[in-house]
């Protein structure tokens, strides 16, 4: 047995002047070696590129008169020069069931893996505790599964073999699957003015081990109104709390709200009720019945409704809808002008719709 980087010389006695080639091969490649002939001895010097590699080196003398072949075992150097270390995955979940694997390949100065059953020390540190494990190489490598703890944080890992150490590696232990959580609402008032904002918030979302979920966890708030229409708004967590906003409805309504972290967990159900603020729809008709002014539209303190309330004018003739005009309020009023080139002199039925209310104007004659 040779040690890597030893000088390997194969000698063969001969009684002829022939110089057959020597074929050598290992796991890295193959080559032909030409001998030197001295005093009836053929000398074949194995190249360093072959003799420096750990493993089995096979040789065969290419001579038609004599068939000789064999193998040489080459072992690695005793001293460890480098440690190749691989770790993955780079992030795991808390809870003692998920793990990251460290794979260590100690090599000598010629990049040969060291011998079997060599001790490798695996060290890791988490929070304020340090851990040490001793494992042994087998089939060129040593490996160990490092399991997460109950808490989240950074797991620092390194390895050592024969006083040669690897660099430090980091594995992030993230919070586990979130537990069910609660949601709350914040609003200036409970009036359906179509203007103020309702804020929806979660409680601090944690996993089963009391770890706060990672910032940026996506939470969707699903809203079902009294007519079974679906709305939604979303937010992402900061310090475990997700916040989302949605504008109040413009008419009396009741919302059932529930939040989800999709495919993982859900919140409790809350119900929000909104009171009607627009009680009636005042209007005036002028300009040969071609100008319909809706207003003043007033809110819960008898003030003008905030700008932007949607008002719709539906125009019918002979029970057929011929047009729907939509506008938004400004200073409590909306004005609709029915142009002569579009609406000829005739009798029409109009319906004004806003804030969940409607008012019919029947048999309105335009001229």
Write down the mean pLDDT value for the chain: 92
Residues 196 and 262 both lie in one domain: yes
Residues 142 and 90 both lie in one domain: yes
Residues 148 and 224 both lie in one domain: no
CATH number for the domain spanning 31: value is 2.60.40.10
Q: What's the length of the chain? A: 367
Q: How many domains does the chain have?
A: 4
Model confidence at 31, pLDDT cuts 50, 70, 90, reads: very high
Mean pLDDT of 159-183: 94
CATH number for the domain spanning 337: value is 2.60.40
Cα radius of gyration rounded to whole Å, the chain:
42
Q: Which of 28-32, 94-98, 110-114, 285-289 has the lowest mean pLDDT?
A: 110-114
C-alpha separations of 28 from 24, 55, 71, 204 in Å: 11, 10, 15, 58
What token pair was written down for 209?
């081990």
What is the pLDDT, as a whole number, of residue 267? 96
Residues 311 and 296 both lie in one domain: yes
Residues 95 and 57 both lie in one domain: no
Query: In percent, how much of the chain has pLDDT > 70?
Result: 100
Residues 250 and 226 both lie in one domain: yes
Residues 52 and 125 both lie in one domain: no
Residues 100 and 55 both lie in one domain: no
Residues 305 and 252 both lie in one domain: no
Beta bridge partners of 123: 132, 158
What is the pLDDT, as a whole number, of residue 106? 92
What is the pLDDT, as a whole number, of residue 183? 97
341/87: higher pLDDT: 87
Q: For 111-168, how does the pLDDT look when each residue is reduced to its tens digit (9 = 90+)? A: 888 888 889 999 999 998 999 999 999 988 999 999 999 999 999 999 999 889 999 9
Q: For 38-74, how does the pLDDT look when each residue is reduced to its tens digit (9 = 90+)? A: 888 999 999 998 988 888 999 999 987 777 899 999 9
Give the Cα-Cα-Cα angle 105, 110, 116 (nearest 5 degrees). Answer: 40
Q: What is the pTM of this model?
A: 0.72
What is the pLDDT, as a whole number, of residue 71? 93
Range of the domain at 342: 283-365
Q: For 268-307, how does the pLDDT look when each residue is reduced to its tens digit (9 = 90+)? A: 999 999 999 898 899 999 998 999 999 899 888 888 988 8
Where among 276, 310, 336 does a domain terminate? Answer: 276
Give the Cα-Cα-Cα angle 328, 331, 336 (nearest 5 degrees). Answer: 45
Where among 276, 293, 311 does a domain terminate? Answer: 276
Residues 46 and 104 both lie in one domain: no
């Amino acid at each position: 047995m040779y040690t890597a980087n030893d000088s390997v010389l194969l000698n063969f006695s001969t009684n002829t002047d022939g110089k057959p080639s020597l074929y050598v091969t290992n796991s890295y490649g193959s080559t032909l070696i030409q001998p030197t002939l001295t005093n009836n001895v053929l000398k074949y010097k194995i190249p360093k590129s072959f003799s420096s590699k750990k493993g089995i080196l096979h040789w065969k003398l290419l001579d038609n008169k004599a068939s000789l072949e064999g193998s040489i075992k080459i072992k690695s150097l005793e001293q460890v020069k480098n440690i190749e270390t691989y770790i993955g995955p780079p992030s795991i979940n808390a809870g003692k069931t998920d793990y990251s694997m460290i794979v260590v390949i100690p090599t000598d100065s010629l990049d040969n893996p060291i011998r079997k059953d060599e001790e490798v020390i695996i060290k890791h540190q988490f929070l304020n505790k340090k851990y040490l494990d001793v494992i042994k190489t087998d089939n060129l490598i040593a490996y160990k599964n490092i399991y997460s703890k109950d808490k989240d944080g950074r797991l620092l890992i390194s390895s050592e073999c024969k006083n040669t150490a690897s660099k430090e590696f980091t594995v992030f232990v993230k919070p586990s699957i979130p537990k069910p959580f609660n949601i709350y609402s914040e609003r200036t008032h409970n009036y359906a003015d179509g203007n103020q904002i309702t804020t929806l918030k979660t409680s601090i979302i944690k996993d089963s081990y009391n770890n706060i979920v990672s910032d940026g966890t996506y939470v969707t708030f699903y809203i079902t109104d009294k007519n079974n229409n679906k709305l939604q708004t979303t937010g992402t967590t900061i310090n475990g709390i997700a916040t989302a906003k949605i504008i109040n409805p413009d008419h009396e309504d009741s919302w059932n709200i529930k939040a989800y972290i999709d495919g993982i967990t859900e919140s409790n159900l809350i119900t929000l009720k909104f009171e009607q603020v627009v009680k009636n729809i005042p209007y005036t008709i002028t300009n040969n019945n071609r100008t319909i002014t809706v207003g003043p539209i007033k809110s819960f303190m008898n003030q003008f409704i905030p700008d932007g309330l949607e008002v719709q004018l539906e125009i019918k003739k002979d029970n057929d809808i011929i047009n729907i005009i939509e506008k938004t309020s400004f200073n409590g009023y909306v004005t609709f002008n029915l142009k002569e080139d579009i609406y000829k002199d005739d009798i029409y039925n109009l319906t004004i719709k806003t804030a969940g209310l409607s008012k019919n104007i029947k048999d309105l004659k335009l001229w």
